[in-house]
């Protein structure tokens, strides 16, 4: 019973009860419970009999789960099913979670608590500062490495120690995998245990023919491992990257030019030692276009040669907004023309917001990616007392997310669900619950990010704010004048 199978079943629980058959969902849940209680997927530190942990109406016998609930064929049946599904999840001896890596948002499927930790596990997974205070110093690098793997959509399976209020140490296991059928989703679990969940099932590299790639609807490439030349590409890949045939593709290294050398090296090292790699890649296509994809790389053998099988799932980018006439007011243009420094320019932006915006604060982030630094200046009540030009690491910043996933903008509905370090260091202490971030590029380099901030959750439209593109362009002109 492998970890990957277990988490795949978990991901299926997210399907709407009204769209799939009851039996299929119950079977999936039965499988999860069987894995936990009977096949030893988790060796619990505090054991108890399975039946005592199962909700009423559900029984365990001889390694199987039986459901003793009958569903009426009425509208109430959906509610009954939802309640039963919730009861199943509550019975699991682990905290189940889902991460949207683009939005850096973590949500939880259930409310499992480890005795003695007083519900601190969810906060620990979101807030690295709290985690550093709770996790054993010898294990913190392992814990942090697992969360780094989550952010780049790579499987993780680690164990580490956490202390409770009484000073006792608890062993926890954290494991996860990219969510099936989601470009940038990730599912996982955290549980108290005395040993790791059994290792991820390894997938052997089968001998594959290039012709079999056409059976796939998603883009796929066959790359010579030594030369990195593209030897074969299916029709979906040709359409995606704008080439007529595989012979027209540049080398895979050329397609990866926007990816850092260290990141590329880590990919190849992971392939050598683990026989597969999964994560986010931004690949260059015809005419300079760039495509952000979720990628899976596997070494394969064909006719005595070594290749990389590259399977890709392009990110779905928001549709371009229709042009908006007069997107910013004349008052904003006038106020920016009178600005004498960054703070007065930001104050002008705050006082003359686009129609529909009701932010209580705005922030300017100057980006210095090569120096692993961003410098932020805020205007408005949430940033009272903040020193202009305060520096934070580029790693874990909003800017890094925008660049990594080639985002036209970023909306965060609730910072309390975030796993982005800068949200916990900067926004949450200031009472900011949601924000809208608009980038500005100088050529191909991200130079500024303008962030509208609100103390209310879900204060900004997920469809973006086209007028903000003009605002940040005018602000950039003002900053150039001031510099």
**CATH number for position 456:** 3.30.450.40
Do 107 and 232 fall within a single domain?
no
Residue with structure tokens 């704008």?
242
The CATH number of the domain holding residue 239 is 3.30.450.20
Is 199 a domain residue? no
Do 345 and 310 fall within a single domain?
no
What is the pLDDT averaged over residues 266-276?
A: 79
Report the side by side order of strands in the sheet with 95-100: 105-108, 95-100, 185-192, 169-178, 156-163
Do 391 and 258 fall within a single domain?
no
Res 101 pLDDT > 50: yes
- Among the three residues 290, 314, 338, which one is the final residue of a domain in this structure? 314
Is 204 a domain residue? no
Weakest-pLDDT range from 33-47, 54-68, 461-475? 33-47
What is the pLDDT averaged over residues 163-178?
A: 83
Res 85 pLDDT > 80: no
Is 116 a domain residue? yes
In whole angstroms, give the CA distance from residue 343 to residue 334. 16
Residue with structure tokens 């949450």?
428
pTM for the structure as a whole: 0.51
Do 179 and 223 fall within a single domain?
no
Is 201 a domain residue? no
pLDDT at 172: 86
Q: What digits encode the pLDDT tens for the residues 230-255?
A: 988 988 888 888 888 888 999 998 88
Is 169 a domain residue? yes
Res 72 pLDDT > 60: no
Weakest-pLDDT range from 169-173, 299-303, 404-408? 299-303
Return the number of other C-beta atoms located less than 10 Å from residue 407's C-beta. 19
Phi, psi angles (nearest 5°) of residue 93: -85, 45
Is 200 a domain residue? no
Do 220 and 300 fall within a single domain?
yes
Res 193 pLDDT > 80: no
- Among the three residues 163, 192, 221, which one is the final residue of a domain in this structure? 192
Do 391 and 463 fall within a single domain?
yes
Q: What digits encode the pLDDT tens for the residues 127-163?
A: 988 899 999 888 898 898 888 888 888 888 888 888 8
Beta carbons of 102 and 126 less than 8 angstroms apart:
no
Task: Please calculate the CA angle 30-31-37 and round it to the nearest 5 degrees.
Answer: 85
Q: Which residue has the higher pLDDT, 378 or 226?
A: 378
Is 86 a domain residue? yes
Do 422 and 277 fall within a single domain?
no
Do 162 and 304 fall within a single domain?
no
SS3 451: strand
Is 404 a domain residue? yes
Round the CA-based radius of gyration of the chain to a whole number and report it: 25
Q: What digits encode the pLDDT tens for the residues 331-371?
A: 888 899 999 999 999 999 999 998 878 899 999 999 999 89
Structural domains counted in the chain: 3
What is the pLDDT averaged over residues 173-196?
A: 79
Res 441 pLDDT > 90: yes
SS3 412: strand
Q: Which of 340, 266, 323 is nearest to 297 (CA)?
A: 266
Beta carbons of 199 and 177 less than 8 angstroms apart:
no
pLDDT at 25: 38
Do 25 and 127 fall within a single domain?
yes
Which of the given ranges, 17-21, 74-78, 232-236, 358-362, has the highest pLDDT on average? 358-362
Res 452 pLDDT > 90: yes
**Rama region for 428: left / alpha / beta (φ>0; ψ in -120 to 50; rest):** alpha
Do 162 and 187 fall within a single domain?
yes
Band the pLDDT of 200: cuts 50, 70, 90: very low
The full 3-state SS of 193-206, as one line of letters, equals: CCCCCCCCCCCCCC
pLDDT at 60: 40
Residue with structure tokens 């997310």?
401
Beta carbons of 172 and 190 less than 8 angstroms apart:
yes
Buried b (16+ CB within 10 A) or exposed e, 444-472: eebbbbbbbbbeeeebbeeebbbbbbbbb
What is the pLDDT averaged over residues 450-477?
A: 89
pLDDT at 15: 37
Percent of the chain whose predicted confidence (pLDDT) is above 90 = 20
In whole angstroms, give the CA distance from residue 407 to residue 464. 11
pLDDT at 208: 44
User: What's the chain's average pLDDT?
Assistant: 76
Do 280 and 141 fall within a single domain?
no
Do 469 and 355 fall within a single domain?
yes
Helical H segments across 206-251, by residue range: 235-241
- Burial of 373: CB neighbours in 10 Å, binned 0-12, 13-18, 19+: middle
For residue 478, what are the contacts with CB-CB under 8 A and spacing of at least 6? 336, 337, 339, 345
Residues of the domain holding 420: 330-482
Phi, psi angles (nearest 5°) of residue 367: -105, 125
What proportions of the chain, in percent to the nearest 5, are helix, strand and coil? 35, 25, 40
- Burial of 80: CB neighbours in 10 Å, binned 0-12, 13-18, 19+: middle
Q: Which of 402, 417, 422, 410 is nearest to 460 (CA)?
A: 410
Structure token digits, residue 316: 């779905």
**Distance of alpha carbon 348 from its chain centroid, rounded?**
34
Res 394 pLDDT > 80: yes
Return the number of other C-beta atoms located less than 10 Å from residue 167's C-beta. 6
């Amino acid at each position: 019973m492998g970890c990957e199978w277990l988490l795949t079943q978990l991901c299926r629980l997210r399907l709407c009860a009204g769209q799939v058959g009851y039996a299929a969902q119950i079977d999936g849940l039965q499988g999860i419970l069987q894995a936990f209680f009977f096949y030893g997927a988790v060796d619990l530190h505090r054991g108890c009999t399975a039946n005592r942990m199962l909700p009423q109406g559900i029984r365990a016998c001889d390694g199987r789960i039986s459901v003793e609930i009958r569903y009426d064929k009425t509208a109430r049946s959906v509610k009954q099913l939802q309640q039963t599904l919730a009861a199943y999840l509550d019975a699991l001896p682990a905290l189940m979670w889902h991460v949207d890596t683009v939005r850096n948002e973590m949500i939880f499927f259930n409310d499992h608590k480890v005795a003695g930790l007083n519900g601190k596990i969810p906060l620990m997974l979101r807030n690295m500062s709290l985690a550093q205070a709770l996790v054993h110093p010898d294990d913190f690098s392992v814990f942090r490495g697992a969360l780094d793997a989550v952010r780049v959509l790579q499987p993780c399976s680690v164990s580490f120690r956490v202390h409770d209020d009484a000073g006792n140490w608890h062993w926890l296991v954290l494991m996860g995998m990219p969510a099936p059928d989601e470009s940038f989703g990730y599912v996982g679990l955290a549980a108290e245990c005395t040993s790791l969940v059994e290792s991820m099932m390894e997938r052997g590299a089968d001998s594959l023919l290039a012709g079999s790639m056409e059976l796939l609807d998603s883009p796929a490439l066959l790359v010579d491992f030594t030369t990195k030349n593209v030897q074969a590409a299916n029709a979906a890949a040709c359409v995606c990257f704008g080439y007529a045939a595989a012979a027209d593709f540049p080398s895979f290294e050329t397609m990866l030019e926007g990816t850092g050398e260290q990141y590329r090296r880590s990919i190849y090292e992971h392939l050598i030692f683990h026989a597969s790699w999964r994560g986010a890649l931004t690949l260059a296509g015809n005419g300079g276009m760039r495509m952000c994809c979720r990628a899976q790389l596997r070494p394969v053998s064909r006719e005595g040669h070594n290749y990389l099988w590259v399977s890709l799932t392009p990110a779905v980018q928001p549709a371009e907004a229709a042009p908006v006439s007069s997107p910013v007011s004349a008052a904003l243009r006038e106020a920016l023309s009178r600005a004498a420094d960054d703070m007065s320019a930001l104050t002008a932006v705050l006082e003359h917001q686009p129609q529909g915006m009701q932010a209580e604060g705005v922030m300017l982030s100057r980006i210095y990616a090569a120096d692993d630094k961003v410098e932020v200046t805020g205007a408005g009540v949430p940033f009272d007392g903040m020193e202009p030009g305060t520096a934070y690491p580029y790693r874990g910043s909003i800017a890094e997310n925008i660049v990594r996933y080639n985002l036209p903008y970023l909306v965060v509905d609730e910072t309390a669900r975030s796993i982005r370090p800068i949200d916990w260091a900067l926004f949450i202490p200031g009472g900011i619950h949601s924000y809208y971030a608009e980038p500005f590029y100088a050529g191909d380099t991200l130079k500024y990010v303008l962030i509208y901030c609100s103390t209310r959750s879900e204060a900004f439209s997920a469809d973006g704010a086209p007028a903000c593109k003009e605002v940040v362009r005018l602000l950039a002109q003002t900053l150039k004048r001031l510099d």
